[in-house]
Amino acid sequence: MTDTTQSLLRHVVLFSFKPDASAEQVDAIVTGFGALPQAVPGVVAYEWGTNVSPEGLNAGFTHCFTLTFNSAEDRDAYLVHPNHQAFVEKLGPVIERPLVIDYWAQ
């Protein structure tokens, strides 16, 4: 078992957007996600970007968002926070597939 007492918890979210999602809708999702770290306590770092890999293995996922937490409790509080829940509710019309993975940084 990994000792997580000195590790950071990464919460990685990938989005594949629906083919008919407009640039404005995609931008609104990016902006909305970017507002969460300031609106929800416990996020110690945030970054995002779009796929630039030449390998062609992204399986349709184009946008990656990474949030960092000091503890599982902080991550869990983020997941149920009203601001996060309100953001998630806006995803349905534009997100084809989400992928979420959490890991303790080694």
How far is the C-alpha of 41 from the C-alpha of 38, rounded, in Å? 7
Q: What is the pLDDT of residue 1?
A: 44
pLDDT in 10s for each residue of the chain, 106 residues = 455 567 999 999 999 999 999 999 999 999 999 999 999 999 999 999 999 999 999 999 999 999 999 999 999 999 999 999 999 999 999 999 999 999 999 9
How far is the C-alpha of 12 from the C-alpha of 100, rounded, in Å? 6
Q: What is the pLDDT of residue 6?
A: 76
| pTM reported for the whole predicted model | 0.92
Query: What are the chain's domains?
Result: 9-98 (3.30.70.100)
Q: What is the pLDDT of residue 4?
A: 52
Expressed in angstroms, the distance from the first to the final Cα of the chain is 12
